Every structure is written in structure tokens, then in C-alpha cells.
């Protein structure tokens, strides 16, 4: 027969509550340190660039070396144009293609 | 005539049980859901067909099933039972994952941690229902919403429950669009669902290259049990981001992950023979799995609301639901639920941050459970 008290006893006997608290704390600790590292990285990188300047070689990926990546302003203009076109399409009563 | 009668005795009809028949029907339902509803077809089709294959009763004396020594299926299943396939899948996931959104908004990483509460609360629930600590740890990991992690940990802690846990984990991953939205709506107000978040910043290539190495060191120095899974995940990501190993990254994210997914899905499906699968324990595992997913979703959403108490730039709490690591399905669900309130609110990119953080979080949780419970 199933018993609530026996269930709680089983959790206590297996250190279930402390494992849960400790486990969550460790997961939070690890991901918090990763989050902290990520937030500090953009501040550290300029210093690193002084010691190890960025080099471009033939392996560099298309996306990293493409003119669009070098000129993000073009992307913004393109996005704005697409957004405007979509807005016009949604708000005007002109027949759609 | 005797030969014919002997042959009749060896056909599957004579050994077929109602349980086998039920499991074949479940397999067909999986295939139907995948084809008609598009629910995780890459997983449900191999698993569903594997279930059909695994429930044809084998002939006595012939090595046919997953559990027969020396059978072809047992050799394929070796990759599951020994925890070989999950790290290979993680390699492919790493090679296809873009951590940019996470790198551009590091506070969202914490949502990936909060959603892991489902794992540990389900562990308590499993202990309460009478599972031993090793079994409870393996069942709890279903809440990580990560099939490979669930298979990896259950192969280490409770191999006898592997089939049920794997099927539960993948079934609920497929049902993310059904399970998550009601919980998300229940725990958020309309105003919260309408919150728009700032566009993520551009992330430099150097950040993307340094991240996998640093994140691997941080997470595995804290939880060494996660070395295998996180090692492969971040290695795959380094292959992608380094820009000098494009061929290897391509193989990992295309051919390798596809081959391993086929073998894993099919052999897990084939391991669900009615005689070993249709048990009281399996039903409990399915119940706990549903609870686990729900709690993980609630954990992420509630933690996002908690963070909003302290943040100037508010987070849309729906994004918290993506902390369960069902990549990218839970992020898509966030986008879908958000767009129902405001069709011009694009949450997908923001949701990808806790989503990939959830993958890391669930692997760390698995490492903790493995190292603590195995001793």
C-alpha cells in the first residue's frame, strides 16, 4: 500500500532534498560563471587584440569575410527596406501579388 | 506436412501477445504523428519503425532482437547501451549551434539554469514513488528535455530503464508544442507576453572561438561528469567557429549526426519489446516525465519573472520556457506564443539563448547526478 510518510522517508534516506538544492546550486554556479565570462569577454578582447592582432587568412569563412560582415550598415539599410516593404504590404489595400 | 507445421510454429503469429500488438500500434501512432503532424519526424519515424520491428516476437534459438547476444540489432543497440551515440549527437549539435544570441545577452543564460529545476524536482518525485536513487536520477533527467543526455545518463545509472526513459524523453520533446503553451500562458499576463526585447548585439568571431574553450573549462572543472557530453558539444562548436575546419564541421552537423540519429532512434525503438516495456514502472516514468517537462517550463518562466524584478530592460518571461533544452523546438514555441499576442514581436533569437544554455545546463546536471549517485 502506498504511503505518503514512507515516500518522504525514502526521499530523506536518499538525501533527495539536499541533492536537489546542491544540484541546482552547482548548475546555477556553473552557468553564472559562464554568463560572467561572456559579459567580460568584450571588455577583455580589445586588450587581447593589442597583443594578438586579428589575422585574416584564406580559411576565413564566407560569412566573416563577406562585405556585409565588414559593412553592417548595409545590413541595417537592407533590413529597414524589407521592414518598410512588409509594412506597406500589410497596411495598404493594394492587391497583393 | 510436418515441415509446414513446424514452420507455422515458428511464425510470429503464434508468439504474438496483446502487448506486442499494442506496442506495434504505438509505433504506428508515432510514425503517423511524425508524418501528419510533423512532430519531431527525424526522431519519431526511426523510433516508431523501430518499435514495430522490436515487437515482432523473435524465433526461439535465433539471435534477432536487441536483447539477443550477437544479433545485428544488439550490435547497433550497443551504441545506446554503452552511451556511445549521445556524445556523437552532441558533436553534431555543437557543430550546428550558433551561440551568438547567448553571447550577446549573457543574463539569459540563467534561464537555462532555472529550467533544470524540473530535473531535480522529478528526482524527488521518483524517490517518493519508490524508485531507488540511481533510477530516480535517470528518470529526473527527462526534465532536461534532451534526448541524448537522458539516454547517456540512464545508460550509466539505470540501464534497465533506458528504453522507457528514452521513449518518454523523445515523446515529450516531440510534444513540446502541446505541453508548453498552456503553462506559459497560465504563468504570464498579457502585458508580460507583449514585452519586446532589444535586438541582440553583433558578436565578434573571436568571442565565438574563445567561448567553447572557456565554457568547456568552466563547466567541466565544476562538474567533471559532464566531460564527455560537453567536450563533444564544445568541440563541435569549435570546429564550426574556428573557420579552419569547415569540412569536419560539415561532416559532424550533417552526415555524422544523421547516421547516429538513425541508428539511435531505430535501436531505441526496437528495444521497446512489450515484455520489457509494458510495465507498471514505464507508466510511472511517463507520468513523471510529463511532470518533469511541465516543471522545467514553469521554472524557466517564473525565473524570468523573478529577474524582471531587478532588471531595467525587462525580459519577456515567455523566453524562460526555452530554458528546457529541446533545441530549437521550445524556442519556436516561444516565438509562436509571443506572436499570438503581438504578430510583430520576434522572440525566436532571444529564446535561442536560454535554449542553448539549457543544453549546457542539462549536461552539467547529468554530470552532477552521475558523479554523485554513481558513488
Please report the DSSP string for B199-215 in residue order: PPPP--HHHHHHHHHHH
Chain-centroid distance of CA B238 in Å reads 22
Checking if the pLDDT of A93 tops 60, the result is: no
Interchain CB contact of A45 with B (< 8 Å):
yes
Checking if the pLDDT of A70 tops 50, the result is: no
Between chains, do B368 and A26 touch, taking CB under 8 Å as contact?
yes
What single-letter DSSP state applies at residue B243? S
Q: What is the pLDDT of residue A7?
A: 84
Q: What is the ipTM of this complex?
A: 0.89
Chain A residues in contact with B123 (beta carbon < 8 A)? 16, 19-20, 23
Q: How confident is the model at residue A75 (pLDDT cuts 50, 70, 90)?
A: low
Chain B residues in contact with A19 (beta carbon < 8 A)? 120, 123, 372
Q: How confident is the model at residue A59 (pLDDT cuts 50, 70, 90)?
A: low
Which of B131, B141, B144, B218 is most worth mutating to test chain A (most A CB atoms within 10 A of its CB)?
A: B218
Between chains, do A20 and B246 touch, taking CB under 8 Å as contact?
no
Average pLDDT, chain B: 91
Residues 81-120 of B with CB under 8 A from A: 102-103, 106-107, 109-110, 112-114, 116-117, 119-120
Chain A residues in contact with B119 (beta carbon < 8 A)? 23
Q: How confident is the model at residue B2 (pLDDT cuts 50, 70, 90)?
A: confident
Q: How confident is the model at residue B216 (pLDDT cuts 50, 70, 90)?
A: very high
Q: What is the pLDDT of residue B69?
A: 87
Q: What is the pLDDT of residue B61?
A: 78
Interchain CB contact of A81 with B (< 8 Å):
no
Give the pLDDT mean for B255-270.
94
Give the cell for residue B95.
557543430
Q: How confident is the model at residue A92 (pLDDT cuts 50, 70, 90)?
A: low
In this predicted model, which residue has the larger pLDDT, B60 or A13? A13
Distance from CA of B152 to the nearest CA of A (A): 18
Q: Using an 8 Å Cβ cutoff, are B90 and B236 in contact?
A: yes
Residues A16, B125: Cα–Cα separation, whole Å: 9
Distance from CA of B311 to the nearest CA of A (A): 16
Share of chain B above pLDDT 70, in %: 100
B313 Cβ contact partners less than 8 Å away, ≥ 6 residues apart:
B197, B198
- Closest to B372 (Cα-Cα) out of B78, B141, B125: B141
Q: Using an 8 Å Cβ cutoff, are B165 and B154 in contact?
A: yes
Q: Using an 8 Å Cβ cutoff, are B316 and B325 in contact?
A: no
Q: Using an 8 Å Cβ cutoff, are B165 and B292 in contact?
A: no
Interchain CB contact of A38 with B (< 8 Å):
yes
Dump pLDDT digits (tens) for B334-374.
999 999 988 988 999 999 999 999 999 999 999 999 999 98
Amino acid at each position: 500500500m502506498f504511503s505518503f510518510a514512507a515516500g518522504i522517508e525514502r526521499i530523506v534516506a536518499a538525501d533527495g532534498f539536499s541533492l536537489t538544492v546542491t544540484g541546482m546550486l552547482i548548475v546555477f554556479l556553473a552557468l553564472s560563471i559562464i554568463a560572467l565570462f561572456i559579459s567580460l569577454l568584450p571588455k577583455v578582447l580589445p586588450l587581447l587584440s593589442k597583443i594578438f592582432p586579428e589575422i585574416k587568412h584564406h580559411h576565413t569563412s564566407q560569412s566573416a569575410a563577406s562585405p556585409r560582415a565588414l559593412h553592417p550598415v548595409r545590413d541595417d539599410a537592407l533590413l529597414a527596406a524589407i521592414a518598410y516593404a512588409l509594412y506597406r504590404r500589410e497596411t495598404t489595400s493594394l492587391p497583393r501579388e | 506436412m510436418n515441415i509446414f507445421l513446424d514452420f507455422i510454429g515458428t511464425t510470429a503469429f503464434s508468439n504474438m501477445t496483446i502487448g506486442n500488438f499494442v506496442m506495434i500500434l504505438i509505433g504506428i501512432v508515432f510514425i503517423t504523428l511524425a508524418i501528419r503532424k510533423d512532430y519531431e519526424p527525424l526522431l519519431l519515424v526511426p523510433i516508431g519503425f523501430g518499435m514495430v520491428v522490436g515487437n515482432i516476437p523473435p524465433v526461439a534459438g535465433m539471435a534477432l532482437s536487441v536483447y539477443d547476444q550477437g544479433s545485428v540489432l544488439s550490435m547497433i543497440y550497443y551504441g545506446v547501451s554503452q552511451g556511445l551515440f549521445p556524445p556523437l549527437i552532441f558533436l553534431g549539435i555543437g557543430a550546428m549551434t550558433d551561440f551568438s544570441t547567448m553571447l550577446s545577452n549573457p543574463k539569459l543564460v540563467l534561464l537555462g539554469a532555472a529550467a533544470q529545476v524540473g530535473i531535480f524536482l522529478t528526482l524527488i518525485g521518483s524517490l517518493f514513488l519508490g524508485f531507488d536513487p540511481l533510477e530516480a536520477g535517470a528518470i529526473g533527467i527527462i526534465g532536461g528535455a534532451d534526448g541524448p543526455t537522458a539516454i547517456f545518463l540512464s545508460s550509466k545509472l539505470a540501464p534497465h530503464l533506458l528504453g522507457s526513459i528514452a521513449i518518454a524523453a523523445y515523446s515529450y520533446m516531440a510534444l513540446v508544442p502541446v505541453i508548453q503553451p498552456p503553462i506559459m500562458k497560465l504563468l504570464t499576463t498579457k502585458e508580460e507576453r507583449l514585452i519586446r526585447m532589444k535586438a541582440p548585439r553583433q558578436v565578434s568571431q573571436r568571442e565565438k572561438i574563445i567561448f567553447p574553450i572557456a565554457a568547456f573549462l568552466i563547466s567541466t572543472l565544476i562538474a567533471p561528469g559532464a566531460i564527455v557530453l560537453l567536450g563533444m558539444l564544445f568541440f563541435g562548436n569549435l570546429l564550426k567557429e574556428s573557420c579552419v575546419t569547415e569540412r569536419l564541421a560539415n561532416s559532424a552537423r550533417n552526415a555524422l549526426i544523421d547516421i547516429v540519429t538513425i541508428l539511435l532512434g531505430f535501436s531505441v525503438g526496437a528495444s521497446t519489446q512489450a515484455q520489457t516495456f509494458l510495465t507498471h514502472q514505464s507508466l510511472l516514468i511517463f507520468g513523471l516525465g510529463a511532470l518533469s517537462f511541465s516543471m522545467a517550463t514553469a521554472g524557466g518562466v517564473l525565473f524570468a519573472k523573478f529577474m524582471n524584478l531587478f532588471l531595467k530592460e525587462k525580459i519577456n518571461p515567455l523566453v524562460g520556457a526555452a530554458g528546457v533544452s529541446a533545441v530549437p523546438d521550445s524556442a519556436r514555441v516561444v516565438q509562436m506564443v509571443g506572436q499570438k499576442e503581438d504578430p510583430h514581436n520576434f522572440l525566436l533569437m532571444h529564446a535561442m539563448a536560454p535554449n542553448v544554455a539549457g543544453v549546457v545546463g542539462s549536461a552539467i546536471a547529468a554530470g552532477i547526478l552521475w558523479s554523485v549517485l554513481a558513488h
